[in-house]
Amino acid sequence: MTRKQTRKAWLIALCLMMMPSLLLAQSYTKKTLITIGDKEISVKEFMDTYEKNNVNTDVIDKKNVDEYLSLYIDFKLKVAEAENLKMDTTPSFIKELNNYRQQLAKPYFSNDDITDELVKEAYERMQYDVNAAHILIKCDVNAVPADTMAAYKKAMSIRERAMKGEDFGALAAELSDDPSARDYEEIPGVRKAYKGNHGELGYFTVFDMVYPFETGVYNTAEGSISMPVRSSFGYHIIKVNSKTPALGYIRAAHIFLAVDSNDPTKNDSIVKIKAENIYNEVINDDKNWTDYVRRYSDDKGTIANNGVLSPFRVNQIVPEFISAVKSLEPNQIAAPVKTDFGYHIIKLVGTTTPGTFEYEQEKIKEKVERDMRGQLSEEIAMKRIMKDNDFKENNKVKDAFIATIDSTIIEAKYQADENVNVKQVLFSTKDKSWTVQDFIDYIYAKQKRQGFMTPAAYAYQLYDNFLQQEVFAYEDSKLENKYPEFKALVQEYHDGILLFSLMENEVWNKAAQDSVGLQDYYERNKSSYMWNDRVKAMLVTCQRQDNVEEIKNLLVEGIEVDSLRNYLRENKSQASARFSYYQKGDNVNVDATEWKEGTIALYPSKVDNSTQIVKIVEVRQPEAKTFKEARGLVTSGYQAELEQQWLEQLREKYPVTINEKLLNKVKENYNK
C-alpha cells in the first residue's frame, strides 16, 4: 500500500470513528465536559463521537466510557499541538482538505429520488454475473447526424450477419473497432505477437462497464444478440454468453504450474501431465492440500497462505479461472485449468455473495454517485438548487449573446465582439448575479477545437456547463451553514489530516530515523523478539533420478553450498540448492526430517520425476532475533514508546481538566 493510500485509509477510519450521531435531549449535554489547554469540549461533542464508535455500530471494538475518554483526550491533545504549530495553514494541508471536502460534498448535489431508483436497479443487476462479447463501431459522441447514421447502419449490417449465423468472434476479429479483438503478428523490435480476444470480454457485473453498455447487456437475454447500443465509444453489438448467479467476492486457492516454452522441463505437454498427476493425488488426499501447495505451486506469493489468493471479483481474473470456480462448491477442487499463464488446480474456499438490499444500499449509492449515471441525478439536483435559491435565467440575453458567436469558437480562438454588452445579467439569485462577461471568461478558459459541432451548439453546451458549475458552486458555499452534520464531518477530516502529519513528524519518521534509539529499545526488550526451535538446512531439488545418489553422496561428504551450486551448474545437473533457516511449518520435507545435525533424507515426488534431498546442517535452540531480523517489530514498539512519552509532554503543555460530575452523568446514561 502506498503512503497516499495508507493516509486515505487512515483518515477514513478516523472520520468514521469521529462522525457525529443522534443528539441527546438532556440539557447537560451543552455543558463543558473536558478542557484541554484553553479549549472546551462539551458533553454533547464527546457523546456524539462515543455513540458513533461504541453504541451504534459493531465495526469497532466497544470501549467503556473511561477507556474511550482516554483515547479521545489523546486525540484532542495531538490536534491542539498541530494547530499550535500552524500546520493547518500550510498550502499542502489546505489543498488536501479541499480535496476531501469536495468528496464529502458530492451527495448534496444529487437527487434522492433518481438516485434511489438507480440504486435499486444496480442492486438487481448485482445479483448476476454476465459473460459477454461485443463488436464496436466507433462513433464520436459529438458526431454530426450523417456520421452517426452511417455508424448505426454499419452496426446493423454486422448484426444481421451475426443473426444469420455467421460466427460472432470471426466478425469481431474482422470488423470491430476494438483493437483487442484481432490477432497481431510479431514485428521484431516493435511488438510481440498478440492473440486477440475475438470480442470476448469475459465475466463482469454491475459498475464494471460504462452505464449504457451495462444496460445493453442486462437488457439482452442470455444467448441473444442486442440491437446496437450507443455509448461514448460508439455503437456496440453485444452477444450475451451467460448470466449466472453472482459470486460477489471470491476466495479461492490454487496450485499453479507455470508453462515456459524456453524451458524444456516446463513445456505445455509436460506441465499438463504433471498438473493432472497432482490433481489425482490431491482429490484422493484433499486434507493435505497445504502440503501439495508447498511442494508444487510455482506461485511463491501464495504458498505461505496455503495457495489462497487475495479476494477477487469476476472481472479481476481470467475467465477460464472464473468458469472453473463457478462449477465448484466450497472446498471442492477443479480439474487443472489452462490459462495463458500455465495450469491451475483450483480449490474454492468460499464466496461472499451480495447481501440484502439494506446491507448493500449505501455502498451502491456511493458508486452510483461516482458513476456516469450520477449525471442523471445531478441534473435533477441542479433544478432543485435553482428553485430553492430562486435562480432566475434571462434566456433572451443568453440567446442574443450566443447569436454573436462565430465559428472561431470551434477553433478554440474565440474573442468576444467589442459591441457585446458584457454587463448584462445571464442569471441571478437574490444575493448574486452572473453577467455575460463571466460567461465570456469561462469560454476563454474552456474552449477547445471541435470537429463535429456547429458554433451555436458548442456555445450552448458551454453555457449549460457554465450554469451547472456556478449553481453548484453557489450551493457549495452554503453547505456548512445549511447542514451542521456536513460541517462537523469536514472538521473531523480537518483534525484527521493534521493528526496524520503530526504523527509522521513526531513518532513514525522519528522512530524510523533514530538508529541509536532503536538499538537501545532493542537491547531493553530483546527477550520479546525470539526465534522458536529451528534448523539450518540444505535443500537440493533434483529434476532427474540418475544423479540423486551422486548429489546425496556429496552432501554426506560435507560439500559447502557454494561449491555444490558450482558443481550443479558445471555438470548441468538440472538441480537447484537452497541453504536457509527453517522453523516448524516452513517446509514440509524439513518438518518430516529428524532434526539432528548431519541427518539426510530423500523425498521423491509422487507426481513427477523430481526428488528433494534435505540435509540438516545445524539445530538451533530458541534464541533472540538479531536487531536486523527484528527491526520491523522493534520499530513498531519504539514508535509506541515515543508516542507515550510525547503524550505525557502534551499533557503538561495543555493541562486536561475533566468535569467528573458530568462524566458520571454520561456513564449513568449508558448504564441504563
Tell me what percent of the residues of the chain surpass a pLDDT of 70.
94
The three cell numbers of residue 118 are: 438507480
Question: Which pLDDT band, with edges at 50, 70 and 90, does 63 fall under?
Answer: low
Altogether, the residues listed in the chain come to a count of 672
213, pLDDT greater than 70: yes
Do both 501 and 634 map to the same domain?
yes
Is residue 638 located within the same domain as residue 499?
A: yes
C-alpha 64/C-alpha 277 separation (Å) is 57
Tell me the longest C-alpha to C-alpha distance in the chain.
101
Per-residue pLDDT at 192: 81
Which of 251, 253, 274, 264 is CA-nearest to residue 343? 274
Residue-wise pLDDT tens digits, 135-173: 999 987 767 678 889 999 999 999 999 999 999 999 999
Q: What is the pTM of this model?
A: 0.56
Domain boundary among 221, 245, 269: 245
- % of residues, the chain, pLDDT over 90: 67
d(CA 492, CA 16): 9
Q: Is there a domain that residue 336 lies in?
A: yes
Tell me which of 624, 643, 660 is where a domain ends. Answer: 624
Q: How far is CA 389 from the centre of its chain?
A: 38
Verify that 595 and 557 share a domain, yes or no: yes
Query: Taking a C-beta distance cutoff of 8 angstroms, is the pair 348, 339 a contact?
Result: no
For 290-336, how does the pLDDT look when each residue is reduced to its tens digit (9 = 90+)?
999 999 999 999 998 999 999 999 999 999 999 999 999 999 999 99
The answer as to whether 108 is a domain residue is no
Instruction: Say yes or no to pLDDT of 406 above 90.
Output: yes
| Cell of residue 445, nine digits | 478558459
Question: Are 52 and 198 members of one domain?
Answer: no
With cut-offs at 50, 70 and 90, classify the pLDDT of residue 56: very low
Q: Report the pLDDT value the prediction gives residue 25, as an integer from 0 to 100.
A: 42
**Are residues 155 and 178 in contact, defined by beta-carbon separation less than 8 angstroms?**
no
Domain for residue 117, yes or no? no
Q: In what order do the strands lie in the sheet with 575-583?
A: 575-583, 534-542, 611-620, 600-604
Q: Is 465 helix (H, G, I), strand (E, B) or coil?
A: helix
Q: What is the mean pLDDT of residues 556-578?
A: 92
| Cβ contacts of 54 within 8 Å, gap of 6 or more | 60, 62, 63, 68
Q: DSSP of 90-118, one letter per residue? A: SHHHHHHHHHHHHHHHGGGGS-HHHHHHH
**By the 8 A CB rule, do 635 and 518 touch?**
yes
Please indicate, yes or no, if residue 105 is contained in any of the structural domains. no
**Whether pLDDT at 116 is above 80:** yes
Question: How does residue 20 score in pLDDT terms, banded at 50, 70 and 90?
Answer: very low
Give the range of the structural domain holding residue 404, as residue numbers without chain letter. Answer: 389-479
Question: Are 444 and 537 contained in the same domain?
Answer: no
Same domain, 449 and 535: no
Mean of all residue pLDDT scores within the chain: 89
Separation CA 587–CA 295 (nearest Å): 8
- The position carrying cell 454475473 is 129
Mean pLDDT on 624-637: 92
Task: Supply the pLDDT for residue 496.
Answer: 87
**In-domain check, residue 17:** yes
For 10-24, 408-422, 502-516, which range has the lowest pLDDT when averaged over its residues?
10-24
Predicted local confidence at residue 142, as pLDDT? 65
Mean pLDDT of 528-548: 93
Backbone angles phi, psi at 290, to 5 degrees: -55, -40
The Cα 72–Cα 85 span in angstroms is: 20
Residue 54 has a pLDDT of 66
Q: Rounded mean pLDDT of 177-189?
A: 89
E-strand spans in 156-204? 200-204
The whole-angstrom distance between residue 512's C-alpha and the CA centroid of its chain comes to 27
Helix and strand numbers, DSSP H then E, in the chain: 26, 19
* pLDDT of the residue at 391: 96
Predicted confidence at residue 484, as pLDDT, reads 81
Averaged pLDDT, 552-568: 94
Residue 413 pLDDT more than 90? Answer: yes
Name the 3-class secondary structure at 446: helix
Residue 278, in any domain of the structure: yes
Looking at per-residue confidence, does 89 or 608 come out higher? 89
Is residue 363 included in any domain, yes or no? no
- Residues 178/171, Cβ–Cβ less than 8 Å: no
Q: The domain spanning residue 211 has which CATH number?
A: 3.10.50.40
SS3 state at 389: coil
188 and 281 in a common domain: no
State how beta strands 342-352 and 392-393 pair.
Answer: unpaired
For residue 649 the three cell numbers come to 509532554
Total structural domains within the chain = 5
Give the residue from 226, 245, 264 where a domain finishes: 245
Q: How far is CA 144 from CA 227, 231, 403, 413, 448, in A?
A: 21, 15, 21, 21, 17
Whether residue 493 lies inside any domain: the answer is yes
- For residue 24, pLDDT over 60 is answered with no
DSSP state of 544: -
User: So what's the pLDDT on residue 3?
Assistant: 57
Q: Residue 489: what pLDDT?
A: 87
pLDDT at residue 16 is higher than 70? no
